[in-house]
Amino acid sequence: MKEKSVVCRTRLTSLVSLVAVFVLTASGCDILGPRTPPDQMRIEVEGSSPEPLRLITSRRFFIDGDRVGVDGGVVYLTADTTMISLPRDETYNLQPDNRLAVRVERPEQGQVALTLRVFIDNDKVFDVTETREGSFLQYYFTWN
């Protein structure tokens, strides 16, 4: 009789352990609760450009892996383009599309130190500073 009790207790312990692992894993992956998309994206652009920079934003874009080396892989279907001076701080609503791409283009001439920071619902998700001539900094967000 003791053998049966030990076997049952071992199986019960294994089952409880398996359930505990599943619950911990699922809660870490948001499987147990509903995931809600973020509400806003905020960008900060800082640098030393003596002339205005081009800010491109779009909700209609797709990613083309063959173009990563050319234009960062983002293909804009439609976009809004604005000339900005530095520093710049903008907040965008992510609803209802749950997606936004942002690109800041440097002037063609001269070395320009440029920083792009991106915050999703106040969490910093991107912070890059580069000094180059005639290139861009870019970030895109999609919610799936």
Asked whether the whole model's pTM tops 0.85, one would answer no
pLDDT digits (tens, 9 = 90+) for 36-90: 999 999 999 999 888 899 999 999 998 887 766 566 778 899 999 999 999 999 9
CA angle 119, 141, 112 (to 5 degrees): 65
Burial (CB count <10 Å: 0-12, 13-18, 19+), residue 4: exposed
pLDDT at residue 34, as a whole number:
67
d(CA 18, CA 65): 40
Task: Read off φ and ψ for residue 35, nearest 5 degrees.
Answer: -90, 135
Instruction: Name the residue among 102, 95, 96, 97 with its Cα closest to residue 125.
Output: 102
DSSP code string of 58-72: EEEEEE-GGGHHHHT
